[in-house]
Structure 1
């Protein structure tokens, strides 16, 4: 039986979460994409931010597994122009940084895992992005 994308992602994320370095590496990579993005985190408690990221990715995964989008809508509101002002075009940079970090940390990463991540969390990212 074909394994669902959300199951592949759930397992992949579990492997990544085995190391706190995953979240450190993600932010190093994401903040390296532009000075503008790096500036967003200038006054940020990164330990707390990594905790929020861990939870936020889990919300995307849970949404892919059938949970309602309530928490993603709240994330969208906090990240919108009325909140942190996270521009819609930055989500593609975020996703690419995430996938590159997963590639580095998930020993089972391959093209199937990557496409599963894109398929599973894409709709949730759109919920957040569309709140802008």
Structure 2
């Protein structure tokens, strides 16, 4: 029996969360992807931000596993033009930074895990992006 993408992602994320450096490396990579993004985080408490990221990714994973989208809708609202003003095109940089960081931190990473991540959290990312 083939494992569901959301189960593969849940397990992969668990392996990544074993090391707090995962979240540090993600932000190093994400902020390195664009000067605009780096500027967004200039005055940010990164310890708190990494905590928010940990929770946000978990919300994407839980949504993929069937949880209601309430928290993702709230994230979309806070990241919209009325909130933090996160540009829709930045989400692809965010996702690529996440995938590259997972590749670095999940010792079991392979093409199936990558496609499972994209399949599982893609709809949740779109929900957040579309709130802009």
The TM-score range, normalised by the shorter chain, is over 0.9
Extract unaligned runs of 5+ from structure 2: none
Between the two proteins, the alignment pairs up a number of residues equal to 132
1:22 matched to which residue of 2? 22
**Alpha-carbon shift at residue 37 of structure 1 (Å):** 0.3
Q: Secondary structure at the match of 2:43?
A: coil
Give 1:22 shift: 0.0
TM-score by length of 2: 1.00
Which sections of structure 1, spanning at least 5 residues, go unmatched? none
Segments of 4+ moved more than 2 angstroms = none
SS state of the match for residue 82, structure 1? coil
Q: How many angstroms does 1:120 deviate by? A: 0.1
1:3 match: 3
Q: How does 1:55-70 map to 2 (within 5 A)?
A: 55-70=55-70
TM-score (norm 1): 1.00
1:129 matched residue in structure 2: 129
